[in-house]
Amino acid sequence: MSMPPFDVLSVDAAPRTDAIDAFADAVRHGLTQPQRELPSCYLYDEVGSALYEAITLLPEYGLSRADERLLFRHADRILGLLPDRLIVTELGSGSARKTRWLLQALVNRAAPLIYIPIDLSASALRNCRKELFGLGGLSLVGLERSYLEGLQEVAVNRPPDHTLLVLFLGSTLGNFERSAAEEFLSGIRRNLQPGDALLMGTDLEKPKTDLLLAYDDPLGVTAAFNRNLLVRVNRELSGGFVLSRFHHDVRYDEGERRIEMHLRSDRRQTVRIEHVGLTCEFQSDETIWTESCHKFNLDELRAMAVRNGFHSAAQWIDNDWPFVESLWFAD
């Protein structure tokens, strides 16, 4: 079997020249809202990505291990439901450590295989290439793009005789507000053809005490991950945040079934961000909302598939840390 044509994406994309401007716009918009906020996607610079990898090893944070266990245990069952001629793209690949199990099984079945990780973080894409180095029969093409922008590029350039398998692992769907999650799934579907597949990891509902501990570990790694976002603003946008004056704050909203991560100001203070021409006056205990992590149930996910143009073919559940991998096909 010869490698299918993918000429436009035959080399890694160059770093985006507009990345700093996009970051600046997001910071300007988010910090001028009544509830100040910063998009969670910007947590993952080089330091943030490394800190997140450390978080996945913490005993309190079982999500990533559950995701990896399911892919390891059920790779053959997942592949048994998929056609042989695939192109695989992953939205938010990170280091692709857990994805390796699935890719190895795919290569063993039908090499060569094109794998296209899509991530906003250039460092994550570099780590992805390192993680998968030596996996024979795999052609890796990294795209430094937003998820839907990258997926659209993949969809436009796909070989016509291959099924597209989209991976959306690690429960990233939970970072969206529920209405935005529906819009995002609909956006994925618009880039797929009937018969294309989406394999998605999703964190399930569990006791509040377990969730709070998972996102506020005693070692303080998650706190460092959260506060590193202010370090990034300081470094890339000439910000004036003093880290010791902002504290990691984790909450659980029962009604929304979500964990919230905030950065709480411990005093009245003024912060200037030169690159965006913005001065922020913080009150004591005022927060910057940095991440939401919504939790789901199985029936809810199956209904979401139907509403957004998919049908749910299978679900694999980890019982040690309630988590599910769902395989959906585009109708």
- The confidence band for 3, taking pLDDT boundaries of 50, 70 and 90, is very low
Helices and strands, number each (H, E), in the chain: 10, 13
pLDDT above 70 (res 51): yes
Give the C-alpha separation, 38 to 36, whole Å. 7
Whether 16 has a pLDDT exceeding 80, the answer reads no
Read off the DSSP letter of residue 85. Answer: S
Kind of pairing between the strands at 310-318 and 287-294:
unpaired
Residue 122 pLDDT grade (very low, low, confident, very high; cuts 50, 70, 90): confident
The DSSP bridge partners found for residue 264 are 247, 287
Over residues 125-141, mean pLDDT = 90
Three-state SS at 318: strand
Burial bucket for residue 18 (CB in 10 Å: 0-12, 13-18, 19+): exposed
Residues near 51 by Cβ (< 8 Å), separated by ≥ 6? Answer: 221, 224, 225, 228
Q: Is the pTM of this model over 0.75?
A: yes
Among residues 272, 295, 291, the alpha carbon closest in space to that of 201 is found at 295
pLDDT band at 302; cut points 50, 70, 90: very high
- 244 pLDDT more than 50: yes
**What's the pLDDT band for 97 if we cut at 50, 70, 90?**
confident
Name the band, by pLDDT with cuts 50, 70 and 90, for residue 7: very low
Average pLDDT, the chain: 92
Q: How confident is the model at residue 17 (pLDDT cuts 50, 70, 90)?
A: low
Residue 141 has pLDDT above 80, yes or no: yes
Distance CA 148, CA 185 (A): 10
Work out the end-to-end distance of the chain between its first and last CA atoms, rounded to an integer number of angstroms.
28
If one counts every other C-beta atom within 10 angstroms of the C-beta of residue 181, the result is 19
| Domains (range + CATH), the chain | 19-56+209-294 (no CATH), 59-206+296-330 (3.40.50.150)
Residue 8 has pLDDT above 50, yes or no: no
pLDDT of residue 228: 98
* Cα gap 222→261, rounded to integer Å: 10
* Beta-bridge mates of residue 262: 249, 289
What are the angstrom distances between the C-alpha of 94 and each of 237, 258, 264?
A: 24, 22, 27
Give CA–CA dist 292/260, Å, rounded: 5
Q: Out of 134-143, 235-244, 284-293, 308-317, which region has the weakest mean confidence (pLDDT)? A: 134-143
The span from the CA of 302 to the CA of 161, in Å, is 28
Looking only at the bridges linking them, the beta strands covering 197-203 and 163-168 are parallel
Measured N-to-C along each axis, helices 221-237 and 19-30 cross at an angle, to the nearest 10 degrees, of 110
- Read off the pLDDT of each residue in 241-261 and give the average, rounded to a whole number: 97
Highest averaged pLDDT of the listed ranges 77-86, 98-107, 292-301: 292-301
Asked if the model's pLDDT at residue 264 lies above 70, the reply is yes
Report pLDDT digits (tens) over 309-323: 999 999 999 999 999
174-217 pLDDT, tens digit each: 999 999 999 999 999 999 999 999 999 999 999 999 999 999 99
Query: Can you tell me the mean pLDDT for 77-104?
Result: 92
Angle formed by the axes of helices 178-190 and 147-157, nearest 10° = 10
Nearby residues of 293 by Cβ (< 8 Å), 6 or more positions away: 171, 174, 175, 203, 215, 258, 259, 260, 261
Fill in the amino acid letter for 118: I
Q: Give the CB-side neighbour count of residue 198, counting CA atoms within 13 A.
A: 32
